Chain A
Amino acid sequence: MSEFMQVLISGLATGSIYALAAIGFTLLWQASQTINFAQGEFVMLQAFFVLIGMHVLGLALLPAIALALVVSVVLLGMVFKRVIIQPMLPHGVLPIVMATIGLAILMREMVKEFYSAEAQPFPSMFSESTFNVLGATVSYQDVGNLIVSAIAIVALQLFLGRTRTGRCMQATAQNPAVAEILGVNIQRMVLYTFMINAALATIASVLISPIYLAKFSIGEPIGLVAFLAAIVGGFNQVRGALAGGLLIGVIDNMSAAYLSSEYRIAGPMILLIVIILLRPQGLLGTSEGRTV
C-alpha cells in the first residue's frame, strides 16, 4: 500500500510538470494551428537560461529564474512567433511541423556546442526533506512541484475565462474571422498565446530540471510525453492536457513499478492507442469547435 501511494504521488508530481508542457501544446494548436515539435527543447533550454543567469551573471536562483522567464517570453514567445511561425502560417500545418523539428535540432546542438554535452546539476526551489503520508514518504519537492503547477494552471484558466484579454483569446481560437470583425486584434492574441506557452515552459523547466538534470538531450523525452499527454487528454482543451499529463505521469510510474521498467514507455503508448481507437478527440476533447 505504501509503495502504491509512493508511486502514485511521484507520478502525480511529474505528471503535473508534463501537464504544463502539454497545455502549451494545446494553446499553440488552438491559437494558430501550430504543432510545436520543439516543445521539449523549449523546456530544456530554459534550464540553461537559469544556469547562465546563476553561473555567468552570478545571480541567485530566484532572480535567475525571473531573468530566464523574461528571456524565454521574448525569445521563445515573441521572436519564435514573429520569425518562424508567422511567415509559415499561410502555408499550412506541415511547414510549421518541419520548422519546429528543425528548431529542436538547432536548440539541442547549440546547447551541446555552447554549454557542453554533459548533464549539469540544477538547484531545486524546494527542500529535499520529507514527511510521511499514509506510509508513503513524500518530499517537499514533489508537493512543491504539484502546487506550483496547480497555481500556474488555475491562474491560466482564470485569465482565459475571467479577463477581457482572455476572452478575446478564446474568441480568436474559436473563430478568428468573426473575432476580427468584432474588433479583436487577432495577431496580438496569438502572440499572447505564444508568450504564455514560453512562460509555462519556463515553469516546467525549473520544476523538472532538479530531477532530470539540465542536459541538451532531455527535451526529447519531455516533448514526446507532453505530446502524448495532449493527445490523450484532448488536443483542443486545456483541462484535457492537464488530465492527460497527470494520467501519463501516473501510468508511466505504475507500469515501471508493477509491470517492468523495460516496458515503461509501453504503458503510455498502449493508452494512446486505446484512446485514439475509442475516443479520437481525446478524453476531454471536443470533436467540434475550438476553444482555448
Chain B
Amino acid sequence: MIRNFALAALVAAGLGATAASAETIKLGNVAELSGSGATVGKAWTDAITMGVEEINAAGGVLGNQLELSSYDSQTDAQTSRALVQKAIDDGAFLILGTVYSGSTIVNMLVTQQQGIPQIVGSEAPAITQKGNPFIFRSSFGAHKSMPKIADYLKNGLGVSKVAVSWVNNEFGKGGHDAFVKEVTDRGIEVVADVSSEVAQADFAADVAKLKGSGAEAIFVYLHEEESARILRELNKQGVDVPIVGETTLLNQKVVELAGEAANGIMGHVGLTVDAPNPEIQEFGKRFSEKYGYKADHNAMKGYVAIYAAKTAIERAGELDRQKVADTLHSMTVKVSEVPNILLDVSWDETGEVSRESFLVEIQDGKSVVKDTLPAN
C-alpha cells in the first residue's frame, strides 16, 4: 500500500515537472541570502522576484511563464559554485547572480563550460575581462566607475592626497587597484592604503591609520555592514575630511546602520532609487510598497538583470541559450522601449554595461542626487 502510494506520488511529481517545463522558462537565482552578504542578496532576490511576478502577470516571455528558483550561496564562493551547478541540473535556462565578486569569479566558470548565460551584480573588473562569452553584468565594473570618482576628487574636491580603506577580497582588490590607478594618473598621492577583512567588526585601528596619514579625503571601498562600522568609527574618532565612496558606501542599508555618522558622505552611485527619472521612482515606490523597505542599488541591479534577461530572450526570438548570449552582447535597451530597464543601457562584447550614473551626497539620512554623470 505504502509502496503504491509512494509510486503514485512519484509519478504525479514527474508528471507535474514535465507539464511545468513545457510552459515555463526556469531561471536559477544564486544569491547571498545568508552570511555577511545577506543584505545584498536579499535586495537582489526581492527585486528579481518582483520582476518575475510582473513579467508573468503581463503574459510571460515569448508566451511562457517564468519559474524562478532562488538558492542561498551563504556568501561562500564554493557553495555558490555548487549551487550554480545545482540550478543548471534543475533545468535553469539562465542564471542570475551572484552579487559578491569573489563568488562570481568562481561560479562563472560553471556556466561558461555549459554555455548558460549568466547575469551578475558583481563589480570586480576581472569578471568581464576573462573572455567569458556567457557572463553579463547588470551594473558597472569598478574600472568604469573609478575614473568618475577620481575626476570628482581632483576637480570637485581639489584633493592632492587621499587615503583608501578597502576590503581584502575580489571585489575590494578589483576596486582598489582601479581606484589607485585612476587617482595616480591624475597626480593624486595615495598616502594610506588600509585593507581590512570581510565581516571585520573593529575598525578602530584602521581609522587611526587613515586619520594619521594626513589625507585630504578618505575613499572607502567596503561591503555594506563594514562600511557602516567604519563610518561610525570615523565619526567616533572625529575625522573631519571628506569621506568619499562608490555605490556600496552610499547604500540605504549603510545609512540606516551608520545613523548620523553617514551624514555628509559623498560618492558615485551607478544606480539609486533617488534618481530623478520617473521610471526609477515608480520602481522604488512599487518595491517599498511590496517589501516594506527602500530599494537600494542591489535591488535595482536585480531588477535590471531580470528585465535584461526578458528583453534578450524576446529579441533572440527563441529559447536558445547561445542566441540569447549573442543578443545580450552589443544589446542596447532604451527606457522608451522597455520602461522597466530603468535607464538606457548598453552591453558591450565583454558583457560590461554602460549607462548614466549619479553623484550623491547623504544629507539627514537621505541620499540626495547632486549630479547626473554621462555614460563612459
Q: Which residues of A contact B (CB under 8 A)?
A: 2-3, 6-7, 10-11, 13-14, 112, 116-121, 128, 130, 137, 139, 141-142, 210-213, 215, 217-218, 221, 252-254, 256-257, 261-262, 264
Contacts and interface: CB of A to CB of B under 8 A. Distances in A.
| Pairs A-B, 7 closest by C-beta atoms | A10-B204, A256-B205, A117-B38, A257-B205, A3-B212, A137-B238, A139-B236
Contacts of A120: 257
A221 B201 contact: yes
9 contacts: A13-B204, A118-B253, A119-B39, A119-B257, A130-B237, A139-B236, A139-B238, A256-B202, A261-B195
Decide if the interface of chain B is mainly helix, strand, loop or mixed.
Answer: helix
Interface stretch (B15-23, B224-232, B269-277): B224-232
B195 A10 contact: no
A48 to B, nearest CB: 15
Contact of B236 (A130, A217, A252): A130
B180 to A, nearest CB: 17
Nearest to A260: B195
Interface of B: 33-36, 38-39, 42, 168, 194-197, 199-202, 204-206, 208-209, 211-212, 225, 228-229, 232-233, 235-238, 253, 256-261
A3 B211 contact: yes
Contacts of B233: 211
B366 to A, nearest CB: 16
Interface centre among A120, A139, A141, A254 (most CB of B within 10 A): A139
A245 B256 CA distance: 31
A7 B257 contact: no
Contacts of B256: 121
B228 to A, nearest CB: 7
A213 B257 contact: yes
B166 to A, nearest CB: 11
Contact of B205 (A141, A142, A215, A261): A261
A51 B328 CA distance: 46
A142 B197 CA distance: 23
Contact of A252 (B195, B202, B258): B202
A10 B38 contact: no
A139 B204 CA distance: 12
A212 B233 CA distance: 10
Given A137-B237, A137-B238, A10 B205 contact: yes
A112 B35 CA distance: 10
Contacts of B205: 7, 10-11, 252-254, 256-257, 261, 264
A6 B225 contact: no
A13 B205 CA distance: 12
Contacts of A254: 205
Contacts of A212: 201-202, 229
Nearest to A119: B225
Nearest to B204: A10
Given A119-B257, A121-B256, A252-B202, A257 B208 contact: yes
Nearest to B194: A261
B208 A261 contact: no
A13 B204 CA distance: 10
A14 B204 CA distance: 9
Contact of A117 (B34, B229, B238, B261): B34
